[in-house]
Structure 1
Amino acid sequence: MSFDIKDIPQTINSVNLEQEKMYGQNDLNVIVNKIPGVDATYDMRDEGIKIRGFSASSGDIYRDGVRASGQVRQSTANIERIEILKGPASVLYGRGLGGGIINMISKQANFDSPTTINLRGGSWDKYGGMLDINQVLYDKLALRMTIDHQSDRSFRKGIKQRDTMVSPSILYDNLEGFNWLVQYTHDNLWRRPDRAPAYYDLPKGVSLKTAYAHPDDYVKDNFKSLRSVMGFEINYDWSIKLTNLYRKAAQNFDHIYGGNYCDLKGKLSNGKTCNYQGKLQFRRAWQETANITYSNTIDLMGKFNTGSIAHDMLVGIEYNIEKRQPRLALTSAYPELVDPFHPHWNTKKPHYNKLNTKTNHKAISQGLYWQDLISFTKQWKMLTGLRYDNYEFESNDQIKHQHRSYDGHSLSPRIGLIWQPIESQSFYTSYSKNFSPYGDRGLITLSTDSKTVYDNKPQYSRQYEVGIKSDWLNDKFSSQIALYNLELYNIRYQPDSVNDPYTEVVISVKALN
């Protein structure tokens, strides 16, 4: 279902990636960081993106309308457009942290796109290219193969990465109302992370180009997905769409991180004493984790009239299974010390000898949703929606041999009133609500320790928004102005995010943004 942007009573931004690709930009957080209300900071584990102050990196990023779960960096190698919907979006997308969602639209087989070749290069040994072949075999069948590779280094010594993506797709359209798209995507990102201490914690005279990564450090982000979308037009006004997806996102790493500098007086930056004067001491982290998602959705879309009132309606059913299996080992102090001015590693990293985390998480959810764009006149419209979600969750800690589970349900409403006095101007006011049953970062996780204080009510947010969407100069220029009040309840947080990043507890307080 596709609405005109002026018929949606929420702030929406769209980014066409063609220009970004011309400048060699593939990182999602760099691309969206220029959007108002979106902030991004470097995060080794994910994108570090916040929308209206709420994290969106682990649970509120989507590919083609399906949640891209997992703790991975999101490659845009096969993406042609990015849409950012700000504010709660649970009516159509289910659980979320409430600041908004990012939806990446992928390149897929069609009957219009040409075949293109792209080569790019830049400073710091950046080079890459894309081969995008879209071939119409005959009037009912189209094939597309997109291959992208990019490699680059950093201005900081020893820091580098490379990314390879392959995505074939096939589209069949019988020209009588039935179409079927099948797409497979495999993206493999390898990088040597830069996890040095903050520059202001280092002694004077250290060059900005100095990095401290061990030669054997690595992070591997591996993403695989198989997507099927079948559509059937019942008649001119009504259609059905069935979407099925299998997705596996894994992030494995082994690297040093943090780092404390002991000055010549035997003091750390926090004032504590130390006995390795003039040297840096690091910690080390090892991880293997996988997020597996099975997503199934049926949408019924149609238009009808009740008297003089027009309706554009969507009814859908969604069934999802998500599994997450983190394996994490942390060391309190890496044995080798490093000169901050002339870093050099003399030893290989030892294999970890003890896991801190070995837990299996599983979440099952069912959603039933309805949305209706009601047009009373050409000037006055109302967008209403309601979603009911039922969810089950369980965690099994294989180290402590502890198990915990819970289930629940949530109701997410949405209503917006739209006034369009002329075609180019749209004034709106809206209310919407979001829910997140699993955790603050959007990951499906919960402490299995029976002593942990928590409640099983979801974290939820609600937003009131008023705004104006305008087109100017014969649609050559557009603008959006919005005022909103966004509230967060049942806030989840991590008591010890450094040593135990997977334990979440809940406090029942209220926050305003």
Structure 2
Amino acid sequence: MKYGLVLLLCFCLQLAAFAQNGSIEGRITTSEGEPAGFVNVYLKEAGKGTASSENGNYTLKNVKPGNYTLITSLIGLQTQEKTVAVEPGKVTNLDFTLSESSQKLSEVQVIARRTQNDRPVAVGKMAVRPMDMPQSMAVVGTEVITEQQASKLSDVIKNVNGVALGTTRGTTSETFFARGYNLGANNIMKNGARSNSAVIPEASTLERVEVLKGSAALLYGNVSGGAVINMVTKQPKYEFGGEISMRAGSYNLYKPLVDIYGPISQKLAFRVIGTYETAGSYRKNIESERLYVNPSLLYKISNRTDILLQADYLKHDLTPDFGVGSLADTILNTKVGRSATFNTPWAYNNVAQTNASLSVNHQFNETWKLNFIAARQDFDRNYFSTERIQALANGNWGRKLTRSKIAEDYYNSQLNLNGAFKTGALEHTVLVGADAERYMNITNGFNVLGLRKGGVYDSINVFDPNRFEARTDLPETTNITRTETPTYRYGVFAQDLISISEKFKVLAGLRWSYQEAAQAKIYDLEKDTVTTGAKAKYDQAFSPRVGLVYQPSAATSVFASYSNNFTTNAGTDIYGNNLKPSIIDQYEVGVKNDLIKGRLSANVTIYRILNNDLAQMARFDKDGKENANANFKEFTGQTTSDGAEIDLNGTLLPGLNFLAGYSYNFMRYTKTPGNKGSYKEGERLVNNPAHTGNASLFYTFSTDKLKGLKVGVSGFYTGARNAGWNNTYGQTQQFSRLIKVDGFTTFDLTAGYTYKQISLLAKMSNITNELNYYVHENYSVNPIAPRQFVTTVSYKF
């Protein structure tokens, strides 16, 4: 305890010392009144500096009182100097106006604004501009995350066209679909390492979210073909500062947040972010409580080497919510209100997740860089709830229960070498890497006492709560089994971006992946015995990638590419042999443009994804008889996913920022044999809307009378889609298993005001009070949120 008090006293003394210092802030604009972003700002005598943000603002904090020379510089600009006097505890304002000619300023603005096509993304593992890569990418930055007051990953991802939100059983986590494919745990990353997708990530503290569309198998191995999502957390800074905020909203939402960063020494910097959230819901008896802490340390060993240590801890307790369910398996239950719930009063889903990662970056010279990442994740989920709301047409439903306890222990390491060299007239930008993963899944089986025949807890009627007397007691459970299932993955890859000339580039790469699903150990906790599960399964595959980039001008890029990824298959062939992985081919062409002197990025992509190795139930067994075992499969099918995507974003006028997008996707079964158990040809796959769209517009006033005022509007469209299950030939259910779900559009309005270090931001979401549903299969039918209000007040220091 006394050491804690000493540390607290030292921290307070340091804060007091910081309070005696001053700060400098200002705005850098052009002579035409436009913001000048990414301009270097250097305080000569103090030996410290920063860079202006995209809107031209800059801040230098923790400056000792005195007289200084402030220098601004950027390639293409004349260096400017101004003297400034810093007073204790005060903020000194100093603006700069760039007075060069219009032609020169235009050139500067292209550099300073750095469009989305010009900023490399960490998820791509190469410091190469997206303009030079034959692949579609998207980034949602901290400004959008803050302006939209995002809390969940889905709040951020809805700004990325072509990625649609789905749901999971009981809404205990979020799931996404891109280009027709489910983005599971293999496709969700945090700081470049895989992250468990069975929990709703905390998004309010993220620096940005990167999306690499299409196949990323060369970089990450066994991922689906839709996209890879990378969450990037905020990093330490070598200047003291931070933010304290409080968010409150409809249905008893309260969310305080603290973010503090600064130097510990000349080479060591820290950052600590923490937030706590408690919330009710528009759904009756649904509650949520979250605690999130994210500490990090950055140590610069030298000018060439740095070490970044990051960790976070998330504890999330929520009530499982299966929504309003379905009737007779194929009818959405829209006869009850948006708030109706049918779970027990004691149901719970308690999750704890811990992440830790170490990243080492070493710059050998100007052209060669080595990056090493080691990450560890622990995940625990304790769950007990009713299950699968599948009522009869009259509303009667026999409630069953699910009791589960899951733990995951995940380790990932990767080594990435980036470099550049020449062979004659050809310029090479290369990436060589290797990665290894170990994944341990632990599941527990329970015996639930006091249930009726068939495992039924009780019966209720979703229309008339008085028809039956519902139980409210918490049944006893006994943990009877524990199953430990390890998985191992390894991979090596190489990629080369070859510049043939200023206008032509060729990308070529190859990856080899190996995966072992090891034999499970099954512990019988009642008999105290150990048995083993099915024999180990081994898979390996090559993943090639090739692309061509043609740049007719510095602001336009045309590309075409081919890549593939693989997915492992469960089941066996008719002789009992494990199935090989399915190889999925993707073809993509597109155009990337930076228009209006870099103020507008406009990208268009068209793709086709083919799975020619779709494993389906085998028609005949090894004896030539009609097969009735769904575990026996054969490669007799195909799926085809065709689509197009349009991305727009930029700053057309000073202070006017926008992003927008539209996507179309048609994923269907294109070749099926028509035998029992195979899918029906031409049928669109479930959970994939044909059309999605998004648009957000934010304007920050810069006139003296309205300076600090910000307004914004956002709209999001999800098209019609199929829920339920896809139909198969010879299915026992004679009518269609599909559930048609209509499309919907929601609109949000935002307004905010910033005065010095204090800001207030408010948002009204779903202003038209639109009602629609996210559906998992045919039993978790969850209404979207109604009109809600949320506001955040923050203080930056």
What is the TM-score normalised by the length of structure 1? Answer: 0.87
Q: Distance in 1 between matches of 2:205 and 2:371?
A: 23
- Which residue number corresponds to residue 144 of structure 1? 271
Write out per-residue CA displacement over residues 51-70 of structure 1, whole angstroms, 9 at most, x where no aligned residue.
11101032210111111145
Write out per-residue CA displacement over residues 374-398 of structure 1, whole angstroms, 9 at most, x where no aligned residue.
1112211112111111222213262
What's the offset of the Cα at 1:472?
1.7
2:151 to 17, 26, 35: 26
Matched, 1:130 2:247: no
Aligned partners of 1:360 and 1:396 also within 8 Å: yes
- Which residue number corresponds to residue 610 of structure 2? 487
In structure 2, give the amino acid aligned to 1:381.
Answer: K
Aligned partners of 1:397 and 1:403 also within 8 Å: no
In structure 1, give the amino acid aligned to 2:354.
Answer: K
1:178 to 293, 305, 310: 305
What's the offset of the Cα at 1:31?
2.5
What's the offset of the Cα at 1:420?
0.9
Write out per-residue CA displacement over residues 9-55 of structure 1, whole angstroms, 9 at most, x where no aligned residue.
11111112443344432221242134221111222243221111101
Q: How does 1:333-348 map to 2 (within 5 A)?
A: 333-340=455-462, 341-342=464-465, 345-348=470-473
- Judged with a 3 Å threshold, the aligned counterparts in structure 2 of structure 1 residues 168 and 505 are, in CA distance, closer, same or farther, namely farther
Say which is worse superposed, 282-291 or 141-150, in terms of deviation. 282-291
Matched, 1:315 2:446: no
Secondary structure at the residue paired with 1:434? strand
Aligned partners of 2:319 and 2:348 also within 8 Å: yes
What's the offset of the Cα at 1:217?
0.8
What's the offset of the Cα at 1:506?
5.3
In structure 2, give the amino acid aligned to 1:390.
Answer: Y
Say which is worse superposed, 398-407 or 420-429, in terms of deviation. 398-407
- Which residue number corresponds to residue 99 of structure 2? none
**CA RMSD for the aligned pairs?**
2.8
What's the offset of the Cα at 1:451?
8.9
- Judged with a 3 Å threshold, the aligned counterparts in structure 2 of structure 1 residues 34 and 290 are, in CA distance, closer, same or farther, namely same
Secondary structure at the residue paired with 1:159? coil
- Judged with a 3 Å threshold, the aligned counterparts in structure 2 of structure 1 residues 259 and 47 are, in CA distance, closer, same or farther, namely closer
Aligned partners of 1:29 and 1:41 also within 8 Å: no
Q: Distance in 1 between matches of 2:631 and 2:388?
A: 22
2:177 to 31, 50, 56: 50
What's the offset of the Cα at 1:295?
1.0
Secondary structure at the residue paired with 2:534? strand
Q: Distance in 1 between matches of 2:337 and 2:513?
A: 53
Say which is worse superposed, 163-172 or 371-380, in terms of deviation. 371-380
Write out per-residue CA displacement over residues 420-477 of structure 1, whole angstroms, 9 at most, x where no aligned residue.
111111100000011123x5xxxxxx57x99996633112311011000111222222
What's the offset of the Cα at 1:78?
3.5
**Which protein has greater RCO, CA pairs closer than 8 Å, 6+ apart?**
1
Aligned partners of 1:72 and 1:250 also within 8 Å: no
Write out per-residue CA displacement over residues 155-197 of structure 1, whole angstroms, 9 at most, x where no aligned residue.
1111121211111110011333111111111111111021144
2:586 to 463, 467, 487: 463
- Judged with a 3 Å threshold, the aligned counterparts in structure 2 of structure 1 residues 149 and 372 are, in CA distance, closer, same or farther, namely same
1:213 to 331, 343, 354: 343
Aligned partners of 1:493 and 1:504 also within 8 Å: no
- Which residue number corresponds to residue 639 of structure 2? 511
What's the offset of the Cα at 1:199?
6.2
- Judged with a 3 Å threshold, the aligned counterparts in structure 2 of structure 1 residues 415 and 363 are, in CA distance, closer, same or farther, namely same
- Which residue number corresponds to residue 229 of structure 1? 359
- Which residue number corresponds to residue 281 of structure 1? 398
Q: For structure 1, which runs of at least 5 residues remain unmatched after alignment?
A: 262-267, 270-276, 440-445, 496-502
- Judged with a 3 Å threshold, the aligned counterparts in structure 2 of structure 1 residues 260 and 412 are, in CA distance, closer, same or farther, namely closer
- Which residue number corresponds to residue 368 of structure 1? 492
Secondary structure at the residue paired with 1:457? coil
Secondary structure at the residue paired with 1:31? helix
Matched, 1:256 2:383: no
- Which residue number corresponds to residue 217 of structure 2? 90
Secondary structure at the residue paired with 2:507? strand
- Which residue number corresponds to residue 377 of structure 1? 501
Say which is worse superposed, 19-28 or 48-57, in terms of deviation. 19-28
1:238 to 368, 371, 374: 368
Q: For structure 2, which runs of at least 5 residues remain unmatched after alignment?
A: 1-125, 525-530, 619-629, 642-797
Q: How does 1:290-439 map to 2 (within 5 A)?
A: 290-328=407-445, 332-340=454-462, 341-342=464-465, 345-352=470-477, 358-396=482-520, 398=522, 401-437=532-568
Aligned partners of 1:220 and 1:251 also within 8 Å: yes
- Which residue number corresponds to residue 101 of structure 1? 228
Q: Distance in 2 between matches of 1:480 and 1:93?
A: 25
Aligned length: 484
Q: Distance in 2 between matches of 1:195 and 1:203?
A: 12
Secondary structure at the residue paired with 2:289? strand
What's the offset of the Cα at 1:314?
1.1
Q: Distance in 1 between matches of 2:460 and 2:484?
A: 37
1:160 to 249, 264, 287: 287
What is the TM-score normalised by the length of structure 2? Answer: 0.57
Secondary structure at the residue paired with 1:221? strand
Q: Distance in 2 between matches of 1:507 and 1:38?
A: 31
